[in-house]
Amino acid sequence: MPLTKKIHICKTEIDNISMSEAIAQINHVIQRKKPCYMVTPNVVHLIRLQGDKHFQEIYKNAIFRIADGLPLLWAARFLGTPLKEKISGSDLFPRLCELAVQKGYKLFFLGGNPGDAEKAKTNLMNKYPQIEVVGTYSPPYGFEKDESENKKIISIIKESKPDILLVGLGAPKQEKWIYRYYREIAVPLSIGIGITFSFMAGTIKRAPLWMQKSGLEWFWRLMMEPGRLWKRYLIDDMKFFWLVYKQKMGQEKK
């Protein structure tokens, strides 16, 4: 597999690749048939990585770390190491579906609000009649602490034999669940995609395209879910920009 150029933001290594390069790399990884996973660093991830040793271990062992969010592109440019492209989970998802149709890869959807994964599957099959979604499952709240529930999920996934496992549990739960079980489930590629199932199901509306492109998607989501997201966007973002500023000052002192 070709090596990709890396950049560093807040002590975190990120692959500097475009969407088309990411899809090509993903295709290569799936064809190897060896279980692995990728992560999509955003501001929330980078803040958590400052003090969460387990999350750092998860990142260290991921096969790819691709930038999710315009703040990372802004930070990279400010640091003098510009990233090629933002690759959010919500933008990556349809490209993965297209790849799955082209190559005959099978998908499994784990997570999302009750019914969202199944509705996302229905909507996708209307758009891509040839797509193979071999299973969906929305686990109950707190399932990650229930050994019998996790055994059930593992069994369902293994019996379905997907090529790509898409997990929508929110960060860091989805990354921690994937890391704990990715070898056991033996899926070629597992990816955490956050709220994407709800977007695809139509139960949560994504920001208009102009807001996505201008970096205002965060504002749209804050207006949609202020109680849940105010800390992420009004506090964590400030911490992130302060960390980036300190990194820049450290570079200039060298």
pLDDT one-digit tens code per residue, 61-86: 999 999 998 899 999 999 999 999 98
Which residue ranges in the chain fall short of pLDDT 50? none
Residue of 30, 51, 19 lying closest to 40 (CA atoms): 19
pLDDT one-digit tens code per residue, 202-230: 888 887 888 877 777 777 776 777 777 66
**φ/ψ of residue 161, rounded to 5:** 55, 55
pLDDT for the residue numbered 210: 81
Bridging pattern class, strands 6-9 and 12-15: antiparallel
Domains of the chain, residue spans: 6-201
The alpha-helical segments, DSSP class H, found in the chain are 19-32, 43-49, 53-61, 70-78, 89-103, 116-127, 147-160, 173-185, 196-201, 209-214, 217-224, 226-231, 237-253
Tokens of 200: 């695809």
> CA-CA distance, 9 to 116, in Å (whole number)?
34
Bridging pattern class, strands 106-111 and 164-168: parallel
pLDDT for the residue numbered 176: 98
pLDDT for the residue numbered 230: 66
